[in-house]
Amino acid sequence: MLATYLLLTLIAVFGHFEDFLGTTLLSRPLILGPLVGLVLGDVTQGVMIGATLELIFMGNIKVGAAIPPDIITGGVLGTAFAIMSHKGPAIALALAVPISILSEMVISGLFVFRAVFNKKFNQYAEAGDYKGVQRLHILSGLLKPVLMGVIIFVALELGSTAIKSFLDLIPAWVQSGLQVAGNMLPALGFALLMNLMFNKRVAPYFFLGFMLAAYLKLPIIAIGGLGVIIALIVTQDAPKLAATASNDDDFDFDDTPAETTPVEPQHQLSNGTLRKLFLRSLTLEANFNFETWQNTGFAFAIIPVLKKLYHTKEAMTAALKRHLQLFNTSPYGSTLIIGITAAMEEQNALDKDFDEESISSVKLGLMGPLAGVFDSLFWGTFKVIAAGVGTSLAIKGNILGPLLFLIIFNVPHLLLRYNLTFIGYNAGTKFLQNLSKSNVMDKLTSGAAILGLMVVGAMPATLMNIKTPLNIGSSSSAVGVQGILDQIVPAMIPLGLTFLIYYFVKKQVKTTWLLLGLLALGFAGSIIHLFV
């Protein structure tokens, strides 16, 4: 048993190690579930449970300082206990939800605590000791996987016997109640996604996605493909679509960016150095803390450039101090800022009159806006499509699900992130100016909203399985209500439920309450035989 517990702990540690691996979604339940299944000898169960948890937590994303429940710890422990006790996905989620919320509190505490190292970082910077900065970034980053690993191992070692015997006491009706509730919970995930994307302008695409899935039974991968095509057509043929909102009145409206003085770098850094920037950017979030955020990750990433450019202690000290200032952006677009910064540092090293302050102000000016762009694109679009396709396969136990999930998300992610390093370095702010002068950005965000929403629309019909066993009439001539509903709108109950939860999300009801409410509704519905 000890070996099994150690392996399970390693899986969770691997998940928490994602902060070093560039937010590549390796830590999602859809990926860790199958790994847990592999260790426990039941990959199919692991894939299916992972998909169930993914559906529920798919709307939980990290933006800014808002930390979602720790689904790594909750997912690994929940999946492990569910497989070990042979109780299936319903038990996994009943365990995963509270565990995730508890361990989120531990992690928030760690993010507060980590700020105490900032003094040490500054001492290293003062001494021009970039090696010290690198070392501490990694060591402090390791705190999270190590701490969570210890917690998980202790939980497994102390808890599994108790939890197994506790799970054995659960009567069958509670289990079927949990089952129904578990089928309902994805409505919360979908509603949270809708909340990111749904507005009047793109609402038709949600229903288009739904109809394609509900009536034509198209798989999500096909709907995603159609979504890409429709998004391309709409944004090409109607370039004004995005602009209409701004043209409806001329009431003192101004978002036309004007000329700025571009930074003209003289390029000296080798491609090898730039590749290092990309690779090191993957650890951007490793030492995340609530005081200075990703600052040490940024410093860690830019150090290869500083090493090449600055050969005196004074110059290195000044540069290190500059990059240990607060920083926070979307990891997906971070290399664009890192590349631009590299070009500016180079300029600074060559030109004695260069204004060092401008490096910081460009960094700080870009980090917020670019976070808006890249978070929306990746969380709101690529992640949604990847999760839609991945879970729809995985929920049936297909191992291709997790694989496609990683591929669909990370091929665009890593390609873009890699290339942005070079674009940032070579074109710098000029690239951004061109971008903002063209309407590429508007096209991109509109297209992404169409595509993402079509896939979200398909989700209730494809991924939620709630039916009613009610009959109308007496035993011999009884007519199933579900049959009638199916003839009008297939998947009417999942759709209705998703909109109900969306309504409450709009009313800003807390996610935890909605989770509990859905659990209660599923339970009650199962007991009175309203839902199966």
Residues that bind another protein (CB under 8 A): 63-66, 108, 111-112, 195-199, 201, 242, 245-246, 251-260, 290-292, 326, 328, 330, 362, 365-373, 375-376, 379-380, 429, 432-433, 435-436, 441-442, 445-446, 449, 505-506, 508, 510-511
Task: State the minimum distance, in angstroms, from the CB of residue 117 to another protein.
Answer: 14
Task: State the minimum distance, in angstroms, from the CB of residue 528 to another protein.
Answer: 31
Counted residue by residue, the chain has a size of: 532
Closest to another protein by CB, 94 vs 362, is: 362
- CA separation for the pair 220, 222 (Å, rounded): 5
- CA separation for the pair 107, 103 (Å, rounded): 6
Lookup result for tokens 């011999």: 476
Closest to another protein by CB, 5 vs 205, is: 205
Task: State the minimum distance, in angstroms, from the CB of residue 439 to another protein.
Answer: 10
Residue 100 corresponds to which tokens in the numbers above?
A: 């995730």
* Distance (Å) of CA 513 to CA 63, 453, 520: 21, 25, 10
Task: State the minimum distance, in angstroms, from the CB of residue 231 to another protein.
Answer: 12
Closest to another protein by CB, 301 vs 371, is: 371
Closest to another protein by CB, 212 vs 370, is: 370
Element (H, E) at 98: helix 89-113
Task: State the minimum distance, in angstroms, from the CB of residue 376 to another protein.
Answer: 6
Task: State the minimum distance, in angstroms, from the CB of residue 96 to another protein.
Answer: 20
User: Residues 85, 168: contact at Cβ < 8 Å?
Assistant: yes
Lookup result for tokens 């919970």: 185
Residue type, 104: E
Task: State the minimum distance, in angstroms, from the CB of residue 443 to another protein.
Answer: 9
User: Residues 414, 372: contact at Cβ < 8 Å?
Assistant: no
Task: State the minimum distance, in angstroms, from the CB of residue 435 to another protein.
Answer: 7
Write the CB contacts of 158 (distance below 8 Å, at least 6 apart in sequence).
none
Closest to another protein by CB, 10 vs 326, is: 326
- CA separation for the pair 132, 277 (Å, rounded): 18
Closest to another protein by CB, 43 vs 362, is: 362
Residue 274 corresponds to which tokens in the numbers above?
A: 């730039």
Reduced to 3 states (helix: H, G, I; strand: E, B; else coil), residue 471 is: strand
* Distance (Å) of CA 46 to CA 154, 190, 383: 22, 22, 21
Task: State the minimum distance, in angstroms, from the CB of residue 55 to another protein.
Answer: 19
Task: State the minimum distance, in angstroms, from the CB of residue 255 to another protein.
Answer: 5
Closest to another protein by CB, 229 vs 440, is: 440
Reduced to 3 states (helix: H, G, I; strand: E, B; else coil), residue 438 is: coil
Reduced to 3 states (helix: H, G, I; strand: E, B; else coil), residue 66 is: strand
- CA separation for the pair 338, 330 (Å, rounded): 12
Closest to another protein by CB, 172 vs 250, is: 250
- CA separation for the pair 66, 52 (Å, rounded): 23
Reduced to 3 states (helix: H, G, I; strand: E, B; else coil), residue 327 is: strand
Task: State the minimum distance, in angstroms, from the CB of residue 41 to another protein.
Answer: 39
User: Residues 13, 148: contact at Cβ < 8 Å?
Assistant: yes
Residue 122 burial (CB count, 10 A): 14
- CA separation for the pair 83, 85 (Å, rounded): 5
Cross-strand bridge partners of residue 293? 289, 327
Closest to another protein by CB, 198 vs 206, is: 198
Task: State the minimum distance, in angstroms, from the CB of residue 448 to another protein.
Answer: 8
Residue 313 burial (CB count, 10 A): 12
Reduced to 3 states (helix: H, G, I; strand: E, B; else coil), residue 207 is: helix
Closest to another protein by CB, 261 vs 476, is: 261
